[in-house]
A and B are shown apart, each in its own frame.
Chain A
Amino acid sequence: MIKIILSTHGKMAEGMVNTMQMLIGKEYNVDIIPFFEDTDAEDLENKFKKEISKMQTYENLLILCDLKGGTPFNIASKVSFKNSKIAVLYGVNLPILIEALTTYETQEFSEYIKNIEKNIYATLGVSKV
């Protein structure tokens, strides 16, 4: 089983969930851990640790973050350091969130992560028209 958490600066995570549900339906959901201007970094770390402590032995966790080097990414990387059951992605966007939510049931964790990493580049570009 793979669990997904979306962690961003500000209301981006909440907004992405809202938009994602508009596109693929309200039956899809994802836990969010937002980081606001007045969020204490230690509180954020404790929220991640709490989620990790709830993980079952058979479970994997994918943490989707907005920005490499941002506090959500830094703390997600810290709490998952050298833990092969957890993957941290940075640069999350709407298509990759949707892919993450719609493909996790059919794949093994390492293959799932490899595919997401590969496909994220295909979600970016400039229209040639």
Chain B
Amino acid sequence: MKISVFRIDDRLIHGQIITDWISYANATQIIVADDIASNDELTKTLLKMATPDNVKLHIVKICEVKAIFDNDKSDEKVLLLVRSPKSAYDIIVSGVKPDSINVGNMNMKKDKIKILGNMWVFPEDIEMFKKIDELGIECSVRAISNERKQDVIKLLEKI
């Protein structure tokens, strides 16, 4: 399998994924890489419920992502979803390297800094985005695929 879209989105599977990103990615499979979700039966059931019937869903721990790609050398396209820049960085460091990363929704929470209406970051998120950038992987914000890409590093320079 090959990564078609690697997305950071703290809502994981939701409307924009169902109606836009699965078809944009031409994905037959979704990998949700999340240590909390992979250990929680309710979250797993809800993610399965949200996934279209013709898409195969894997819910795995961050450390298990590399093995999935190692064990499947097919050309099947995958939409890889993580909740945070930290998870994305950990996956990259484990040896799974995307060309670029799409940033979707990072919800407002206490102590977060506003970057865009749908992008709020903790200081540690900023550090992670910088580390991903240092590895030569471009991160850009697009809630849906036909929006204009906004470079994350340039957005972070403005704060």
Contact = CB atoms under 8 A, between A and B. Distances in A.
A105 B17 CA distance: 37
A12 to B, nearest CB: 11
B15 A69 contact: yes
A40 B17 CA distance: 17
B52 A69 contact: yes
A41 B118 CA distance: 12
A68 interface: yes
Interface in A24-78: 37-38, 40-42, 67-71, 73-74, 77-78
Interface stretch (B42-50, B58-66, B72-80, B123-131): B42-50
A69 B51 contact: yes
Contacts of B18: 67-70
A67 B49 CA distance: 12
B26 interface: no
Contacts of A68: 18, 49-50, 52
Contact of B49 (A9, A38, A40, A77): A77
Contacts of B14: 69-71, 74
Contact of A71 (B11, B49, B118): B11
Given A38-B117, A74-B14, A67 B19 contact: yes
Interface string B17-33: 11100000000000000
Interface in B112-158: 117-118, 143
A77 B51 CA distance: 13
B17 A69 contact: yes
Nearest to B47: A74
25 contacts: A37-B118, A40-B107, A41-B107, A42-B107, A67-B15, A67-B18, A68-B18, A68-B49, A68-B50, A69-B13, A69-B17, A69-B18, A69-B50, A70-B14, A70-B15, A70-B18, A71-B15, A74-B13, A74-B14, A74-B49, A74-B50, A77-B46, A78-B42, A78-B46, A81-B45
